[in-house]
């Protein structure tokens, strides 16, 4: 595995490759979720590039940029063992200058949900991915469904700007109790960790109420009661039921063929997100 750190080096490498290239952009602190992306890329492309770059532009001023977990040596070994061709790990100075002024924003989708609480977050994501896509020029890029809003934003950006790249969705990888894998899970104390399953349990609870409730207002109200009752230490940020294409909220599940529940919550100051597609049982009579 080659470890490259400059724009020039990744360009030089890329110019020599004529086979298909898969790309997995990450912020490091790799877990089984990332590795499932890498494995899928390895299966579908002759070469796989993984980037590790903790992107300062997608963190707000009061967020965890400085304490975000950095485990480069472990990450490197994991990727080497899987058979990755290139690990691209640029410095902040390689990716940004003080004169940077481009704003690249999905003006609607990036302001919904997480975007409403993490101002500018998704603009930082779309900016860094545009830079990385231009450097790596992959045929396919892999994103996890765990960050579902990010996935849709990337899909929409690629579609609107005609990037010659196929975005591949990879299902969320969960711990045995259902907690979605996340680099931020490492922030959880043992006590918080026991509560962290609250997100997945709440999302599953919503599914159990369908088709008894098809209106989303009572679904969300019941789910909030469930969360407060069962996980009193978890502080909900948002819980929404949306059309998974537009990410717009729906009032009634019949309004969309693909409803999905999205949520974000804090546990002892640690912010976690999760989401689940909702299904309407075929024998639903409502």
Among 130, 207, 255, 256, binds its own copies (CB under 8 A): 130
> Of the two residues 108 and 258, which places its CB atom closer to its own copies in the complex?
108
What sign results for the dihedral spanned by CA atoms 138, 46, 152, 192?
A: negative
Among the listed residues 31, 34, 66, 121, the single catalytic one is: 34
In terms of C-beta density within 10 A (0-12 exposed, 13-18 middle, 19 or more buried), how is residue 139 classed?
middle
Spatial CB neighbours of 206, under 8 Å, sequence gap ≥ 6: 219, 220, 222, 223, 241, 261, 276, 278
DSSP result, 151-167: HHHHHHHHHHTT-S-EE
> Of the two residues 15 and 283, which places its CB atom closer to its own copies in the complex?
15
> Of the two residues 43 and 103, which places its CB atom closer to its own copies in the complex?
103
Binding mask 92-111 for its own copies (x = CB under 8 A): -----x--xxxxxxxxxx--
Among 4, 137, 170, 240, binds its own copies (CB under 8 A): 137
| C-alpha pair distances (Å), 243 with each of 251, 255, 261 | 10, 8, 9
Interface segment toward its own copies; rule CB under 8 A; list 126-134, 191-199, 205-213, 224-232: 126-134
Total residues contacting its own copies (rule CB under 8 A)?
A: 25
Identify residues 156-195 at the interface with its own copies (CB under 8 A): 156-157, 160-164
Rounded Cα gap, residues 182 and 253, in angstroms = 29
Is 121 catalytic? The answer is no
Residues labelled as active-site residues: 34
What does the binding site for its own copies look like in residue numbers (CB under 8 A)? 7, 11, 97, 100-109, 130-131, 134-135, 137, 156-157, 160-164
């Amino acid at each position: 595995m080659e470890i490259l750190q400059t724009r020039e080096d990744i360009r030089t490498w890329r110019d020599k490759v004529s086979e298909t290239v898969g790309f997995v952009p990450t912020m490091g602190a790799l877990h089984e979720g990332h590795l499932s992306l890498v494995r899928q890329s390895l299966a579908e492309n002759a070469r796989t590039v993984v980037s590790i770059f903790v992107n300062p532009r997608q963190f707000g001023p009061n967020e965890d940029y400085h304490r975000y977990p950095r485990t480069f040596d472990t990450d490197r070994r994991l990727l080497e063992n899987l058979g990755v061709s290139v690990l691209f790990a640029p410095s902040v100075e390689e990716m940004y200058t003080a004169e940077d002024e481009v704003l690249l924003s999905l003006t609607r989708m990036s302001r919904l949900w997480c975007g409403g609480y993490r101002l500018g977050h998704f603009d930082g994501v779309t900016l860094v991915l545009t830079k990385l896509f231009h450097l790596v020029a992959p045929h396919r890029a892999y994103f996890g469904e765990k960050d579902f809003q990010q996935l849709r934003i990337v899909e929409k950006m690629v579609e609107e700007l005609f990037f010659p790249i196929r975005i591949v969705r990879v299902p969320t990888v969960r711990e045995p109790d259902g907690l979605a894998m996340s680099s931020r899970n490492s922030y959880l104390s043992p006590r918080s960790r026991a509560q962290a399953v609250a997100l997945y349990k709440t999302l599953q609870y919503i599914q159990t109420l369908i088709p008894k409730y098809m209106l989303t207002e009572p679904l969300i109200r019941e789910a909030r009661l469930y969360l407060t009752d069962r996980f009193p230490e978890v502080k909900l940020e948002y819980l929404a039921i949306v059309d998974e294409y537009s990410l717009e909220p729906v009032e009634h599940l019949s309004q969309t063929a693909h409803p999905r529940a999205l949520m974000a919550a804090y546990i002892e100051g640690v912010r976690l997100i999760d989401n689940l597609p909702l299904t309407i049982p075929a024998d639903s009579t409502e």
